[in-house]
């Protein structure tokens, strides 16, 4: 909510210049994950050996408290597989840093659910990308639907109110919005919808999974009808160019109000931009996280007024602000160009120009995907019947002259 006693500038105009501390800070605690979702935006799977230690994490939390970062969005990877996850959770919430964490539900046992329900400073987001096992498991892996549902049941049974059911909108689940809402209602949860980004492994499946143009309209209409009960993390502001602005800031917050701390302490402008181009620094440096947030050259540049480039002449530029920086970057569109999913259709023309092999498109800087197990396959072997020139020598022959032929 915005409180202003007169016609002061719009919030979005004030935020363009950045804040003393982020409002929305995402902290991926680990790259380790029990799942291998096709569209994982952080390419998670294997733990990084350079991961921040428990003490380093606590030092970050101390800084966040001093900076009055009221809450952090913790993710991963699967954050709950860190052995010190619960310790860090308690440390943050006892230091006035609220925690909202995303999980696939694997560790949300009845006991864990009771512990979460008892802590007022904790919120939980259960990830589910299909309202049916078929749609969900196709993207998130076999059994992941059941895991998420079990976690929601445990939270509900523990009396946890208003936790979040978090859905990444894809081509296959856009028709399921009402079903998602019904699932959320059943467990006393709130529905949260976010945008599929071509980040991490998402880049590999984005062409097949991102909503079709007609579905974007369907989603927009659904959000207009249900928007007051549904959270979006401000992720669909590019849809505002359909007309009525969606609730939220409608601004790319990267480096201005948002940033990411990754498991090894690297600070990126946003959670969807794990690439050297958007790397602002590391919390292990002298000035810590505050030093990066306040002193990074990259963040300073992002806080300058942005030019709309080709978009500035579009009558919708003021509502969509050119869309999502990360979505442009990882589809090879110039940063001052249109969003790849621009609802006015300006992105499609540029997408069509991508070379078949996508050679010009940047790849994420970190890939922690688990290496796929090698499938057994036939090995071609050429057999010959060439006669040996000398008698075979046994591997056990100890005679130093074994096999030597003198002539």
Least distance to other proteins, CB of residue 4, Å: 4
Distance CA 289, CA 89 (A): 19
Site for other proteins in 44-73 (CB under 8 A): 68, 70-71
The C-alpha R_g of the chain, in whole angstroms, comes to: 25
Q: In angstroms, what is the minimal distance from the CB of 149 to other proteins?
A: 25
Q: Interface residues for other proteins in 70-89 (CB under 8 A)?
A: 70-71
First to last CA, the chain: 97
Instruction: Output 98 or 308, the one with its CB closest to other proteins.
Output: 98
Closest to other proteins by CB, 133 vs 248, is: 248
What are the C-alpha distances in Å from 160 to residues 115, 191, 249?
10, 15, 28
Q: Are 244 and 227 spatial neighbours (Cβ–Cβ below 8 Å)?
A: no
Dihedrals φ, ψ of 190, to 5°? Answer: -110, 140
Instruction: Mark the segment that binds other proteins (CB under 8 A) among 4-12, 137-145, 173-181, 200-208.
Output: 4-12
From the CB of 177, what's the least distance to other proteins, in Å?
Answer: 24
Of the two residues 82 and 256, which places its CB atom closer to other proteins in the complex?
Answer: 256
Quick check: 2 binds other proteins (CB under 8 A)? yes
What is the spatial distance between Cα 197 and Cα 48, in angstroms, rounded to a whole number? 23
CA distance readout (Å), 3 to 7, 8, 21, 366, 399: 11, 10, 20, 41, 93
| CB-neighbour burial class of residue 191 (10 A; exposed 0-12, middle 13-18, buried 19+) | buried
For residue 100, which of 76, 129, 121 has the smallest C-alpha distance? Answer: 121
**Residue selected from 36, 47, 62, 98 as contacting other proteins according to rule CB under 8 A:** 98
Please tell me whether residue 399 binds other proteins under the rule CB under 8 A.
Answer: no
* Buried residues in 51-65 as b, exposed as e (16+ CB within 10 A): bbeeeebbbbbbbbe
Site string for other proteins, 119-148 (x = CB under 8 A): -xx-x-------------------------
Nearer to other proteins, 93 or 153 (CB): 93
- Closest approach, Cβ 121 to other proteins, in A, equals 7
For other proteins, which is the closer residue by CB, 11 or 361? 11
Going residue by residue from 231 to 260, which x/- string records binding to other proteins, judged by CB under 8 A? ------------------------------
Question: CB 56 → other proteins: shortest distance, Å?
Answer: 24
Nearer to other proteins, 248 or 308 (CB): 248
- Interface with other proteins in residues 5-24 (CB under 8 A): 5-6, 8-9, 11, 14, 17, 19-21, 23
Question: Look-up: residue for tokens 């003490």?
Answer: 55
- Total site size for other proteins, rule CB under 8 A: 23
- Number of C-beta neighbours around residue 221 at 10 A: 12
Tell me how far CA of residue 292 lies from CA of 16, 56, 63, 64, 389, in angstroms: 18, 16, 12, 13, 71
Does 359 help bind other proteins (rule: CB under 8 A)? Answer: no
Nearest residue (CB) to other proteins, 8 versus 312: 8
- Rank residues 19 and 36 by Cβ distance to other proteins and give the closer one: 19
Judging by DSSP bridges, how do beta strands 71-75 and 266-268 pair with one another?
A: unpaired
Minimum CB–partner distance for residue 125 and other proteins (Å) = 13
3 state DSSP class of 11:
helix
Distances 396 to 274, 399, 402, 405 between C-alpha atoms, Å: 55, 9, 10, 18
Residues of the shown chain interacting with other proteins in the complex, contacts defined by CB under 8 A: 1-6, 8-9, 11, 14, 17, 19-21, 23, 68, 70-71, 96, 98, 120-121, 123
């Amino acid at each position: 909510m915005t409180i202003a006693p007169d016609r002061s500038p719009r919030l979005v105009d004030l935020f363009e210049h950045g804040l003393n501390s982020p409002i929305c800070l995402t902290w991926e605690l680990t790259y380790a994950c029990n799942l291998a979702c096709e569209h994982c935006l952080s390419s998670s799977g294997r733990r990084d050996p350079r991961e921040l230690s428990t003490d380093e994490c606590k030092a970050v939390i101390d800084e966040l408290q001093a900076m009055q970062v009221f809450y952090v969005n913790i993710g991963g990877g699967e954050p709950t597989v860190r052995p010190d996850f619960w310790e860090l959770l308690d440390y943050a919430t006892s230091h006035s840093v609220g925690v909202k964490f995303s999980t696939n539900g694997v560790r949300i046992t009845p006991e864990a659910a009771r512990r979460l329900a008892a802590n007022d400073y904790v919120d939980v987001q259960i990830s589910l990308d299909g309202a049916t096992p078929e749609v969900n498991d196709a993207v998130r892996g076999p059994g992941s639907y059941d895991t998420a549902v079990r976690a929601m049941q445990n939270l509900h049974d523990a009396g946890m109110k208003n936790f979040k059911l978090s859905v990444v909108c894809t081509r296959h689940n856009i028709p399921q919005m009402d079903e998602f809402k019904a699932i959320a209602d059943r467990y006393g949860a709130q529905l949260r919808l976010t945008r599929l980004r071509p980040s991490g492994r998402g880049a590999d499946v984005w062409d097949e999974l991102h909503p079709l143009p007609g579905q974007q309209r369907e989603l927009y209409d659904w959000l207009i009808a249900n928007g007051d009960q549904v959270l979006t993390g401000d992720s669909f502001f590019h849809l505002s160019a359909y007309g009525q602005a969606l609730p939220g800031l409608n601004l790319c917050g990267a480096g201005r109000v948002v940033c990411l701390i990754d498991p090894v302490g690297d600070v990126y402008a946003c959670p969807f931009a794990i690439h050297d181009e958007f790397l602002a620094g590391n919390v292990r440096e002298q000035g810590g996280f505050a030093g990066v947030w306040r002193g990074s050259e990259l963040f300073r540049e992002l806080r300058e007024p942005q030019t709309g480039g080709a978009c500035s002449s579009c009558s919708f530029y003021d509502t969509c602000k050119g869309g999502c920086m990360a979505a442009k970057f990882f589809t090879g569109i110039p940063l001052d160009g249109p969003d790849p999913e621009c609802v006015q259709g300006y992105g499609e023309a540029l997408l069509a120009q991508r070379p078949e092999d996508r050679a010009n498109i940047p790849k994420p800087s970190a890939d922690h995907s688990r290496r796929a197990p090698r499938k057994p396959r036939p090995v071609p072997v050429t057999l010959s019947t060439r006669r040996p020139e000398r008698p075979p020598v046994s591997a056990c022959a100890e005679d130093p002259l074994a096999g030597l032929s003198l002539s």
